[in-house]
Structure 1
């Protein structure tokens, strides 16, 4: 048996019938929803509920992550946009023109996360522009989390529908 045959047998390239793909999808959206601009949402809730040092910790983390996101956006935003568009276009063509299921799966993972990245960049800019703190910061982070969850729900729904269609149309052996 060749190395490539053993590798493809070990790693099922039919992504939508692979349990690991669905676990990765769930973990990805769970993490994206929990970390709001890189700040754990339980810290935001604790700061809002208890006040005190938790507020300072949360505001410091938000300030650090906002500055980091905006710096990355300013320094390499055009390069990242170009590379992201190139990768998404390549995956879209491979997946939906040439019917490579692995490329379809990666496309359905990466496209919505691109929207989450753009939303995070916009939220970071709004927080910095308004110098949000206190209740305004809680509201901004809450709104960002809700938008990420909505994108996640739509993404999971579309991915599940496409995965079911693919599995039903190909059959159990990917004929």
Structure 2
């Protein structure tokens, strides 16, 4: 963290591990689907194909992010920027609350916006915004997975700027 500004970039080795894990699940999905002989779970071939699609997409996203430069998350006096949502920085005046959502020890920062319609997603994450909203209760889920940033440093920066009323 430079001064109080927090910036997280893609971490190639973390993303490579995520891509490797996704590849393992794709292989498992292919086994279940019966691509290498009889299915290891007859009658569940559709689950195998679902795994292939889901983890295949996740692996592709992880590999693409390895070569992606620039900040993934930036928290500054201007607001919060999350590249996986849009190229727009959300100003502090539009963030009415920040909460934390945790699932299996993975934490996400949840932004609650005054006027969510003013900050639509231009990325893939926006396609599942309704499901995320139902699950987390917030408008924008900010994840640091696959970055070099720490959750604690991000929350420290958020607390700093929210306290300042920037």
Shared fold (TM-score, shorter chain, > 0.5): no
Q: Which has the larger radius of gyration?
A: 1
TM range (shorter): 0.3 to 0.5
TM-score, L = length of structure 2: 0.33
* Higher relative contact order (CA closer than 8 Å, sequence separation 6+): 1
Higher strand content, 1 or 2:
2
- Return the structure number with greater helix share: 1
